[in-house]
Amino acid sequence: MSSVTVRVPAKVNVQLSVGPLREDGYHDLVNVFHAVSIFDEVVAKEAEGITVQVNGKWSDQVPIDDSNLAIRAARALAKHAGRSYGAELIIHKNIPVAGGMAGGSADAAGALVACNELWGLGLPMDDLMEIAGDLGSDVPFSLIGGTAVGTGRGEQLSELPTGGTFHWVFALANGGLSTAKVYAECDRLRAESNAEVPWPTLNDSLMEALGTGDAYALGAHLSNDLQPAALNLRPELGPTLDSGRQHGALGAIVSGSGPTCAFLAIDATHARDLAESLTATGAAHTAVAAHGPVQGATVI
């Protein structure tokens, strides 16, 4: 096999509960991931060394040196296999960069699956998940997709059943937000308020809404503990969220660490109309309709 193409989805966090700051600098999380139909494609081709090139909407914002997470994933896979392998990775970018939708993690997951096929390793998903967990908290979910709750740093996953398809609109912002800066701002705001930070727990009502496919109930229970920090760093996101609510969104939330804003719609038609309204009124530079849950990294 001389070339393998893998399609890998973006995610939205329908619940992101952030516990107290730990001594190691991380936080314990309850993180409900939901994979949506905005996809990157990762192509792996035979080559001597491991390199990456990127094309698409945000290609100029993606590093192509050793800091690229897809390169790190391919190298970690080769190390796990105990041999020296090569691959030219080509990423077709559609997921926003630093947008709170796990675009870099998606590309890492895509690289793991593509190189596993290209090199004929035949490693099982459990092995890929172990490697993914070492690469980053969101990478394991990008492998499996669907809907899942992540605990620990978010990498310990349990799949969640969903009772139907949910329809979303994502308002894509100009410029990204550093996840580390958003967490640091969250910690600063908490310290400033001097309030006790509770241990994160899974929202049972949200779980029920996912299980029954009830979009109205899900919209009422969307939550993100990082949202105040993201809004503090990017105040313009507040009017975007308000506009989505005014145009009938069942729920409006900053996705992950932001700055992408996610809006839950009633159905596909409502999602399309909501996306058009957000762009027509100038509330969003770009708004994209999508649905979920969808599969994780998949060879196509």
Confidence of residue 1 (pLDDT cuts 50, 70, 90): confident
Place of tokens 């939205």: 12
Q: What are the backbone angles phi and psi of residue 206, rounded to the nearest 5°?
A: -65, -40
Catalytic residue among 11, 40, 93, 107: 11
- Is residue 11 part of the annotated active site? The answer reads yes
Q: CA-to-CA distance for 56 and 202, rounded, in angstroms?
A: 36
Q: CA-to-CA distance for 90 and 111, rounded, in angstroms?
A: 9
Residue 21: both structure tokens together:
């700051």
Confidence of residue 154 (pLDDT cuts 50, 70, 90): confident
- Is residue 66 part of the annotated active site? The answer reads no
pLDDT tens-place string over residues 94-131: 998 888 999 999 999 999 999 999 999 999 999 999 99
For residues 230 and 182, is the Cβ–Cβ distance under 8 A?
A: yes
Rg of the chain taking only CA atoms, in angstroms = 19
Q: What percent of the chain has pLDDT over 90?
A: 87
Q: Is 256 helix (H, G, I), strand (E, B) or coil?
A: coil
Please compute the mean of the pLDDT values over residues 174-185 and round it to a whole number.
91
pTM: 0.94
Catalytic residue among 40, 107, 138, 225: 138
pLDDT tens-place string over residues 132-143: 999 998 999 999
